[in-house]
């Protein structure tokens, strides 16, 4: 099946930019990923992207899958207007020129929440491993072109599994954080869909009420799944970029001050600026 795309889009840079953690690179430009109840194989081509799909209830629907992918890659964003806005900054403009078509992904909120809880003092390969381990152990199987993957478990599934089981899967000290979030969702104390509709400051505050979710994790969840494009997560790569490029010869400010400065400086699309800075700095490996 073919997805026609008429705007800047780079599939590889988008999927390998540290935002989402259920994508695998296959051969010949193909990527394998699980989105909700669907297993997808997708690769870019001159017209946009081609894909194969399995799963769904009861079977995949082409129109529905196209709609899902357009939402996931945020093709409803006015990317040209966003580029015009964020490229006022020279450093961001350099990264946009280098990685043009890198998109922020609109992820499913529950899976995104768990992924970034697992990101605490971790790295991208380990987050991938944690997410796959939970899916393989607790999710439903999907098969496509000889590959078997699994859906991501529900809050109820993870809460029932318990902390000890998640520790056995390799989550370590993050296991009780995941269990606490799962229980809050199950109890109705954390309504992720409601957070999409709330203003950014309240969304971030409610996320940080959860055991194990600090400011950086809350901002990641907010920008990658809760429609808060003004959120500006500060991790080690962004901290280094800001310190070197925007605060040279100064004592490095605390993260909270960096976030406040960045949101004022970069504006309503601070999250896009952050993703380009993060991706470029990480690609440079320094």
Reply yes or no on whether the pLDDT at 59 is more than 70.
no
Mean pLDDT for the stretch of residues 31-44: 97
pLDDT of residue 22: 97
Backbone angles phi, psi at 145, to 5 degrees: 50, 40
Domain 236-284 has CATH 3.30.40: no
pLDDT of residue 62: 85
Three-class DSSP category at 42 = strand
List the CATH code of the domain at 2-98: 3.30.310.260
49 Rama class: left (phi>0) / alpha (psi -120 to 50) / beta:
beta
Sign of torsion over alpha carbons 177, 183, 186, 191: negative
Taking only the tens place, the pLDDT of each residue in 4-16 is 999 999 999 999 9
Reply yes or no on whether the pLDDT at 57 is more than 70.
no
CA distance 253 to 105: 29
Residue labelled with tokens 């989550």: 171
Is residue 144 a contact partner of residue 39, using CB atoms and an 8 Å limit?
yes
Confidence of residue 285 (pLDDT cuts 50, 70, 90): confident
Reply yes or no on whether the pLDDT at 250 is more than 90.
no
Q: Which residues pair with 31 in a beta bridge?
A: 25, 42
CA distances from 236 to 17, 117, 218, 233, 285 (A): 15, 16, 16, 10, 11
Domains 2-98 and 109-225 share a fold: no
Q: Which of 73-82, 239-248, 259-268 has the lowest mean pLDDT?
A: 239-248
pLDDT above 70: percentage of residues in the chain: 99
Mean pLDDT for the stretch of residues 102-125: 97
- Burial call 109-144: b when 16+ CB within 10 Å, e when fewer: bbbbbbbbbbbbebeeebbbbbbbbbbeebbeebeb
Give pTM, 2 decimals.
0.95
CA distance 49 to 21: 20
CATH C-level class of 109-225? mainly alpha
Mean pLDDT for the stretch of residues 146-150: 97
Long-range contacts of residues 234-242, Cβ cutoff 8 Å, at least 24 apart = 234/258, 234/259, 234/262, 235/278, 237/277, 237/278, 237/281, 237/282, 238/274, 238/277, 238/278, 238/281, 240/281, 240/286, 241/91, 241/277, 241/278, 241/280, 241/281, 242/277
Domain definitions of the chain by residue range? 2-98, 109-225, 236-284
pLDDT of residue 141: 97
């Amino acid at each position: 099946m073919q997805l026609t795309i008429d705007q800047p889009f780079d599939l590889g840079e988008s999927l390998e930019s540290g935002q989402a953690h259920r994508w695998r690179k296959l051969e010949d430009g193909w990527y394998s990923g699980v989105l909700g109840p669907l297993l997808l194989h997708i690769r870019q081509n001159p017209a946009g992207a081609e894909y194969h799909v399995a799963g769904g209830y009861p079977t995949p629907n082409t129109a529905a899958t196209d709609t899902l992918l357009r939402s996931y890659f945020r093709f409803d964003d006015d990317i040209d207007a966003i580029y015009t806005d964020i490229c006022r900054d020279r450093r961001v403009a350099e990264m946009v020129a280098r990685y043009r078509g890198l998109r922020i992904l609109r992820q499913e909120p529950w899976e995104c929440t768990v992924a970034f809880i697992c990101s605490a003092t971790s790295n991208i390969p380990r987050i991938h491993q944690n997410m796959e381990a939970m899916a393989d152990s607790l999710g439903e199987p999907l098969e496509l072109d000889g590959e078997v993957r699994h859906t991501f478990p529900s809050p109820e599934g993870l809460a029932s599994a318990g902390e000890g089981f998640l520790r056995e899967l390799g989550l370590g000290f993050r296991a009780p954080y995941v269990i606490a979030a799962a229980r809050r969702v199950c109890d109705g104390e954390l309504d992720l869909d409601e957070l999409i509709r709330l203003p950014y400051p309240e969304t971030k505050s409610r996320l940080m009420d959860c055991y194990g979710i600090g400011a950086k994790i809350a901002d990641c969840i907010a920008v990658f799944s809760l429609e808060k494009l003004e959120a500006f997560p500060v991790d080690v790569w962004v901290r280094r970029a800001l310190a070197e490029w925007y605060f040279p010869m100064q004592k490095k400010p605390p993260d909270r001050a960096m976030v406040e400065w960045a949101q004022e400086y970069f504006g309503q699309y601070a999250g896009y600026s952050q993703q380009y800075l993060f991706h470029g700095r990480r690609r440079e490996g320094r």
